Structure 1
Amino acid sequence: MSMSGGRGSGGRERLVVIGGDAAGMSAASQARRLRGPEELEIVAFERGHSTSFSACGIPYWVGGEVPERDRLIARTPEEHRARGIDLRLRTEVTEIDVPGQRVRARDVDSGAESWTPYDRLVIATGARPVRPDLPGVDAPGVHGVQTLDDGQALLDTLARTRGRRAVVVGAGYIGVEMAEALINRGFEVTVVNRGKEPMSTLDPDMGRMVHRAMQGLGITMVNNAEVTKLLTGEDGRVRAVATEHAEYPADLVVLGIGVRPETALARAAGLPLGAHGGLLTDLAMRVRGHENIWAGGDCVEVLNLVSGQEQYVPLGTHANKHGQVIGTNAGGGYATFPGVVGTAVSKVCDLEIARTGLREKDARRVGLRFETVTIESTSRAGYYPGAAPMTVKMLAELRTGRLLGVQIVGREGAAKRVDIAAVALTAQMTVEQMTALDLGYAPPFSPVWDPILVAARKAVSKVRAG
């Protein structure tokens, strides 16, 4: 094993980045903008083959809407290197020596190991897919979907699988989007979900609408079902997914159970982790108690501005913002990341799904008392061609009327309306204040009373009555 001095060559400071996707490479790029190669050496380690790719886009690549893998890559390794970043692909960091300010890395292909000292460290190790410890889970034909390599492996399996029966385990964002992708590829799809309804990020009454839409697409939904094992055939490949009460034939299985923060390195190094297993940082994204270590992306917990509690929200939007903040601070500037309100959107074919803020159970968990309203409206003026139904559910705090959360399920034009609510939540607006918002109106874009404002008006009446 080799070991160099405490700083980069020529006495420069060295910034080491662990993880080459959104948060890590955003941080490296931003630090490079602030400090040139003559001042700051930047070394980035990535255990995979790709950098700066959109994991969120993988279901659309698998489904065929995105025609090729390279469309999902925002910046190639060559582009990063051309900007003076020493990017080392297929190199996995196996240990962080915090007292010694160094990391141990292993070449994935050769197995060679070496230590690299750092002055400043960025941990952007991302998330790992939940892979349940079940019989048959590692059989050929069973796929997780987290990286571009995972997506390619799934596409390869789709191309050579003769049968057309697919089972998706899990009905969160990944599971629902992969179910659509497989329908688009001509598979018969069954989704096995342990929850009462799909999309547990919604309240069950809103999830039920997603359930109906999925059934309308020909997807078989199996709710309240726990997978007990994956059955294999004589050739060793997966042939069925079993629950306590039934078996579902499968030529292909996709695991869409969600992800957990990839923090084994951080845990072994004694860095502080939260209740969800993610790294804890301050407002500058600095790891708590460590002046020269930052962390961001899917491996950290973030402050929910509505509940006031730490939350695990693995989304690319946050990862890129974290990277900007970290790169600014690691590069000698100043920036903060105040927190999130929990905004997310998705779709199942033409059904759009959106949510922000707290669900009913979230509000109860933190001790808030609230009222809920649900309204039916349309995406455009009712008389205008293409007007489509939309359901908006709104939570508001009892007595104060403070907006607590919004969920929207509808057709074209529904999902991005959640951004109005996201801004209102960030500004801590009441539903009464929201009713006066000066939103854009014309018949092709909304009714004269936008669905968000209709819900806010109804919520005002209800919290006053309460």
Structure 2
Amino acid sequence: MVVIGGDAAGMSAASQARRLKGPDALEIVAFERGHFASYSACGIPYWVSGDVERRDDLIARTPQEHRARNIDLRMRTEVTRIDVAGRRVRALDRESGETYWTGYDKLVIATGARPVRPALPGMDAAGVHGVQTLDDGQALLDSMGAPENAPGRHAVVVGAGYIGVEMAEAMLKRGFEVTVLNRGEQPMSTLDPDMGRLVHEAMDGLGIVTVDGAAVTGIVAGPDGRVREVTTEARAYPADVVVLGIGVEPETALAREAGLPVGAHGGLLTDPAMRVRGHEDIWAGGDCVEVLDLVAGRSRHIALGTHANKHGQVIGSNVAGGYGTFPGVVGTAVSKVCDLEIGRTGLREKDARAVGLRYVTATVESTGRAGYYPGAEPMTVKMIAEYRTGRLLGVQIVGREGAAKRVDVAAVALTAGMTVEQMTALDLGYAPPFSPVWDPVLVAARRTVAAVRGAGAA
């Protein structure tokens, strides 16, 4: 078994296969081009911010621990070619420069994703950083310098999606003056604009300057080659550090060159067993694949560690002779910027329109605790349901403590194909410190039921 990529999907697959096959029945070789394996990329913003004190706290299992379980993990070694016909891969040892071929019976591709880096002037200037790997995070911290030097320095974050808002918080906590340049209508394009506006207002309140409709045109460097400002069509913004939070793309160049199938979003296409379509002994998982959206009925690319680890478990089981499948996703994600929590699952309004669904919406204001209980904070819940049938299509939540994880209730309802009327009878936990007597999700469901009935009567 040969694994390309030493993070969540790849090493989960290797570890699961080892557990099922025992210590000696299967030879496992894994290649990782970076300095680290089996780490939490999702934790990088919190390490950069200082909330997580040590880089090594993000590492789930070291290379030495993998090797102790008879997994031959070769660090700083990049696979540069997949020879499908010859059932082998070519590897480059980045330290020695040596290249060599390794044959495989079973191949697992877990090459992850890469930060989007627009082809604009100055993007290669010192001080411009993508944040996808621990190596990226370390480079950013080195570029930022000592915390005592941060006051009065400017950080510009390009993009206002999950990575962008998390990195904006990280830079703010490090003492930088932070500007977020967002080409969209509102921050968090994974939300509808009306919910994104709540995020914008909260960021403004934190002292983060968020500029919407700002398409970056280039980076200007000083005589030393280091970034000095970021330009847009309207003006220039001073920058000592630039963080790219535009999103990521599947890292599938290697697979494309090998003739393996990729989808409309650039990710590898697999069957439910995570086997690459048309290739009996090649599997793929993690951020380099496309997955089925169970609500929209279409494939999409979602880069999340939760999915990657599940993919790895499925792949490892199948490689070892067992059986597993990955049915798909409903598009659940949570994030935060300082004390503001953001959750979403299912379809946005524009997603529903794109797949030809008619829908109704309802938005409610509530609190995360009983209104009389100390610490009750506001929470906004938006719910989208199918016209007439009332089938739940999506939920978005923005609020303070306890807001983000409430979206999990909606994720379960979406997976089960529930209607909003069925949701109103859910037996959710209640006590004043945790919820009003009618949980905000149930209040939104009741309001959406009324909208469905009203639309049907119209």
Q: TM-score category by the smaller chain?
A: over 0.9
1:82 maps to amino acid: A
Q: Measure how far apart 1:157 and its partner are.
A: 1.3
TM-score by length of 2: 0.98
1:82 alignment counterpart = 68
Aligned equivalents of 2:188, 2:207: Cα separation in 1: 18
Partner residue in 2 for 1:256: 245
Distance 1:200 1:465 in 2: 29
Match of 1:26 among 2, 9, 12: 12
The answer to whether the aligner puts 1:282 opposite 2:271 as a matched pair is yes
- 1:134 to 2:120 alignment: yes
- 1:55-111 Cα deviation digits (max 9, x unpaired): 100000000000000000000000000001000000000010111110001111222
Aligned to 2:351: 362
Residue 197 (structure 1) aligns with: 186
- The code of the aligned residue for 1:448 comes to V
Structure 2: segments with no counterpart, 5+ residues: none
1:337-376 matches, cutoff 5 A: 337-376=326-365
State the identity %: 79
| Structure 1: gaps of 5 or more residues | 1-14
Matched, 1:317 2:306: yes
Looking at structure 1, the residues matched to 258 and 241 of structure 2 have their Cα atoms a distance apart, in angstroms, of: 38
**How far apart are residue 41 of structure 1 and its match?**
0.1
4+ long deviations beyond 6 Å: none
Corresponding residue number in structure 1 for 2:38: 52
Q: What's the offset of the Cα at 1:385?
A: 0.7
Residue 428 of structure 2 is matched in structure 1 by 439
**Matches of 2:22 and 2:418 in 1, distance apart?**
43
TM-score (norm 1): 0.96
- State the partner residue of 2:454: 465
Aligned to 2:162: 173
Match of 2:54 among 65, 68, 73: 68
Distance in 1 (alpha carbons) for counterparts of 2:25 and 2:400 = 52
Give the whole-Å Cα distance in 2 for the aligned partners of 1:37 and 1:263: 31
Give the whole-Å Cα distance in 2 for the aligned partners of 1:189 and 1:38.
53
**1:424 matches 2:410:** no
Greater shift after overlay, 152-161 or 345-354? Answer: 152-161
Shift in Å, 1:37: 3.3
Within the candidate set 77, 81, 93, 1:107 is matched to 93
Aligned partner of 1:212 in structure 2 is 201
**Cross-structure match for 1:229:** 218
d(CA) in 2 for partners of 1:420, 1:151 = 33
Q: 1:266 — aligned with what?
A: 255
Aligned residue number for residue 4 of structure 1: none
In the alignment, is residue 153 of structure 1 matched against residue 153 of structure 2? no
Deviation at 1:36, TM superposition (A): 2.1
The code of the aligned residue for 1:183 comes to L
Name the counterpart of 1:7: none
* Distance across 1 between alignment mates of 2:269 and 2:156: 36
Q: How far off is 1:241 after superposition?
A: 0.2
Work out the number of aligned pairs and report it: 452
Which residue of structure 1 aligns with residue 396 of structure 2? 407
Report the CA distance between 1:38 and its aligned residue.
Answer: 2.1
1:326 to 315, 320, 323: 315
